[in-house]
Amino acid sequence: MSLQTSPRPAATTAPATTPTPPTAAPPRPGTGRRRRDPRTLLLDAGGWVTMTAATVVLGAPLLWMVLASLKRPAELYRLPLQWLPEAVDLTSYQNAAQTIPIGQLFLNSVGLTVVGAGLKVILGLCCAYALVFLDVPFRRTVFLVVIAALMIPPQITIIPNYSFVASLGWLNTYQGILVPGLASAFGTFLFRQHFLTLPASVLEAAELDGAGHWRRLWRFVVPMSLPTVAAVGLVAVVNEWNDYLWPFLVVDDPQKMTLPVGLTLLQNIDGMNDWGMLLAATVLVTLPILLVFLVLQRRLVAGLTTGAVTG
């Protein structure tokens, strides 16, 4: 008897699948180039034109001053006007150095600028710290007085300051130039506005660790406020270096004068006959502070932006 086996079903093969081509990903929003609005292009072009015009108006006198100081005296009065000197001539700088004590004037300006700007920053830091972190009476009233001081032109205080300095016998002295301008309402205001944005938890932790106010100021507050400190310091340096009216009134001794006042001394001695010498001395006054500002301008913008928070 033969066993009959049922036939096995044939193995079914899966149908061959053809690979589907990859579909392109949908473009992300904002990645494609869009045509700019003509009004935006017009505004951008107007901004560039305005900026270029302002740069030319502000920079042309400075460029002319530098180039004219390198010319021979005969080239300054030549017509038609020529911008570039035929050859670099440093005679005007030599004449200026021989006519007035430029070295002493430069040292006076540097010393008064460094000391004056440093004291302004320190006093501004201490005053702003007291207004924000100390529970002193009438601190809001004091802050309003600081704001009011920003609105008063400095020329109004010249007569009382001069009378006070003269009564102390400080005429023709360095302290007579320095002391009346040490209080900086601008620095106090900017520091106070920035201190209001600092995290209170850091100072509370420092207080729990036993840190006093002086340590909290220099170990925690100042390191967190370096951009603002740099901005206030740069503004103070520029103001101290360029100050002319107050040193001109207080000092008439050439050995105590600053560089801006020395230009007046040069003008009185020479009688404005040698314009090349006056322009050379002006370059010596302008160039150092201009280089300092160009190097630190980013810190100035960052500090002013950081401190511009109302509280």
Using alpha carbons, select from 110, 122, 66, 56 the residue that is nearest to residue 90. 66
28: pLDDT strictly greater than 60: no
Burial 168-196 (b: 16+ CB within 10 A, else e): eebbebbebbbbbbeebbbbbbbbbbbbe
> Residue range 142-153: average pLDDT?
89
Distance CA 241, CA 110 (A): 8
Distance CA 261, CA 137 (A): 43
103: helix, strand or coil: helix
Peptide bond into 80 cis (omega under 30): yes
Per-residue confidence (pLDDT) for residue 310, from 0 to 100 = 45
Distance CA 288, CA 303 (A): 22
Q: How many other CB atoms are there within 10 angstroms of residue 126's CB atom?
A: 15
Distance CA 164, CA 137 (A): 29
Each residue's pLDDT tens digit, 255-270: 899 999 988 888 777 5
Q: What is the dihedral of CA 86, 88, 93, 98, to 10 degrees?
A: -90
Burial-class residue 130 by CB neighbours within 10 Å (0-12, 13-18, 19+): middle
6: pLDDT strictly greater than 50: no
Cβ-contact 108, 100 below 8 angstroms: no
Per-residue confidence (pLDDT) for residue 204, from 0 to 100 = 86
Distance CA 42, CA 25 (A): 35
Structural tokens at position 105: 């004037």
More confident residue, 132 or 24: 132
Range with the lowest mean pLDDT among 15-19, 52-56, 64-68, 89-93?
A: 15-19
Per-residue confidence (pLDDT) for residue 258, from 0 to 100 = 92
Beta carbons within 8 Å of 244's beta carbon, 6+ residues apart: 260, 261
2: pLDDT strictly greater than 90: no
Which residue has tokens 């390198």? 70
149: helix, strand or coil: helix
8: helix, strand or coil: coil
- DSSP per position, 161-186: HHHHHHHTT-TTSHHHHHGGG---HH
Q: Which domains does the chain have, with CATH numbers?
A: 91-307 (1.10.3720.10)
Per-residue confidence (pLDDT) for residue 1, from 0 to 100 = 41
User: Residue 290: pLDDT band by 50, 70, 90 thresholds?
Assistant: confident
Q: What is the dihedral of CA 221, 222, 224, 230, to 10 degrees?
A: 150
User: Residue 272: pLDDT band by 50, 70, 90 thresholds?
Assistant: low
Cβ-contact 311, 197 below 8 angstroms: yes
Among 70-84, 221-235, 296-310, the range of highest mean pLDDT: 221-235
DSSP 109: H
pTM score of the predicted model = 0.77
Each residue's pLDDT tens digit, 70-112: 888 778 877 777 788 888 888 888 888 888 888 899 999 999 9
Per cent of the chain over pLDDT 90 is 28
Among 20-24, 95-99, 191-195, 299-303, the range of highest mean pLDDT: 191-195
